[in-house]
Amino acid sequence: MVKKKILITGGAGFIGGNFVHYILNKYPEYEVVNLDALTYAGELTKHQEVENLPNYHFTHIDITDKEQLSNLCIEKEFDYVIHFAAESHVDRSIANPEQFILTNVLGTQNLLQAAKQTKISKFIHISTDEVYGELDFDKTNFFTETTPLQPNSPYSASKASSDLLVRAYAETYQLPVNITRCSNNYGPFQFPEKLIPLTISKILNDKKVPIYGNGQNIRDWLHVYDHCTAIDAILHKGINGEVYNIGGHNEKTNLDVVRTIIHTIGKSEKLIEHVEDRLGHDKRYAIDPTKLEQLGWKPTYTFETGIRQTIDWYIKNKQWLNQVLNKKK
C-alpha cells in the first residue's frame, strides 16, 4: 500500500479527534500528524488508544504561529491537509470576536501559505452551514453549495472569511482544495458546551437545562462518524476546487432534541428552563447533500439511533465528562 502523510489540524477537538481515530483505523498505512493548540476544548485523553502507534504523532502548534507551521509542512511534505482547527462556539464569538478572527481567518491563511510551499495533493477546509445564514421554516428550502454566504454571527463570519481565503488560494495558486460545510455534529468526545453533551451532562446531574427562547430553532443533526466518512469520500473522490455540503437529513427543534434526551434517560421535562434568546439566533439550518451523495456517500445514522448511542457513550464515560467539565472551570 502507498504510505500517505496526512496533517489533521484541530485533532485534539471533537470532530478532528474522531477523524484521527477514523483515519488510523481505516488507513493503517497512513502517517498521521495531529496538530493542535490545546485550547480549552482540546484534550488528548481521547487518543490514549492510538498515541503509541508508530504512524501517529502529536505536535503542539497553534495555527496562528506562521513560522512553526511553515517549518512543519516543509519538513513533513504532507500529501493531505485536513483543516478542522477553529474557534467554533457562537456564544463565545459574541463575547470575544477577536479570537475568532485570529484563529479562523489568520490561522487559516497561515496554513494555506504553509501548504502552498509544498506539493500537497489535497487541502480540505472544514467549514459550517452557518456561513449561509438562516432559512425560514419552509421545509422545502435547503442550503445548497450555491446558496449565497450571509453569516449572522462573528463565528460564522470568520468561517465565511476563511472559506473565501481557501477559494482564493485555489484560484490564484491552483492549490488543490475542497471546502466542506456540515450541519450540527454530535457524538462521542464532544465538548460539553454544545447542546447535546451539555443537556446530557445537566440531566445526569438533575440540573436545569437552559434552552434559548421558545426552543423552536431547527438544526439538521449529523453524527460525527457520518461526517468522518463524508470527509473520507471527499478526500479520495472529491473534485478539486469544489464545495460539498454534508447533512444528515435529521431536522429537529432544539426543544425536541432536549426532550428526546430527557425521555431517553428517564427524567422529567421539569428540568427544562427557557432563557433569554441568543443574539442573532438563526431560525433554521438544513442542508441538501445531493452533490456529495453523487460521490457515493450516504449518512448511516438516523437521529434516533445516533442519539441513543451518544447518550449511552456519555453515561459509560462519566469520568471523561467530569474531567473535561472540571478543566472548563
Query: Which pLDDT score is estimated for 321?
Result: 87
Q: For the chain, which domains are there?
A: 5-187+223-247+282-300 (3.40.50.720)
Q: Does the active-site annotation cover 130?
A: yes
| pLDDT given for residue 323 in this prediction | 84
Question: pLDDT class for 3, splitting at 50, 70, 90?
Answer: confident
Average pLDDT for residues 32-59, to the nearest whole number? Answer: 93
Supply the pLDDT for residue 289: 96
- Binning pLDDT at 50, 70 and 90, where does residue 329 land? low
SS3 (DSSP) at 60 = strand
- Work out the pLDDT band at 35, boundaries 50, 70, 90: very high
6, burial (CB in 10 Å: exposed 0-12, middle 13-18, buried 19+)? buried
Q: What is the largest CA-CA distance in the chain?
A: 57
Look at phi and psi of residue 96 and say left if phi exceeds 0, alpha if psi is from -120 to 50, else beta.
beta
Q: What mean pLDDT comes out for the span 61-82?
A: 96
**Of 31, 87, 129, 163, which one is the catalytic site residue?**
129
d(CA 109, CA 111): 5
pLDDT tens per residue, range 81-100: 999 999 988 888 898 899 99
pLDDT digits (tens, 9 = 90+) for 265-282: 999 999 999 999 988 899
Helix residue spans in the chain (DSSP H): 14-26, 66-76, 90-95, 97-100, 107-116, 154-173, 195-204, 224-237, 254-265, 290-293, 303-316, 318-328
Mean pLDDT (the chain, rounded): 94
Residue 1 has pLDDT above 80, yes or no: no
pLDDT, tens only, 278-309: 888 999 999 999 999 999 999 999 999 999 99
Active site residue 155: yes
Task: Give the percent of the chain with pLDDT over 70.
Answer: 98
pLDDT above 80 (res 328): no
For the cut 80, the answer to whether the pLDDT of residue 327 exceeds it is no
- Given 31, 36, 130, 282, which residue is catalytic? 130
Q: Which pTM does this prediction carry?
A: 0.95
Q: 15 pLDDT exceeds 60?
A: yes
Residues 202, 314: Cα–Cα separation, whole Å: 12
Q: Which of 56, 80, 155, 244 is catalytic?
A: 155
Query: What's the mean pLDDT in 305-322?
Result: 94
Query: Which positions ≥6 away from 78 have C-beta within 8 Å?
Result: 5, 6, 7, 33, 115, 118, 120
Confidence of residue 49 (pLDDT cuts 50, 70, 90): very high
Let me know if 129 is a catalytic residue.
yes
> What would the pLDDT profile of 138-172 be if each residue is shown by its tens digit?
999 999 999 999 999 999 999 999 999 999 999 99
What's residue 2's pLDDT? 63
- 2 compared with 198, residue with greater pLDDT: 198
pLDDT tens for 229-279 read 999 999 999 999 999 999 998 999 999 999 999 999 999 999 999 999 988
Q: Which amino acid appears at position 140 of this protein?
A: T
> Which residue would you say has higher pLDDT here, 328 or 176?
176
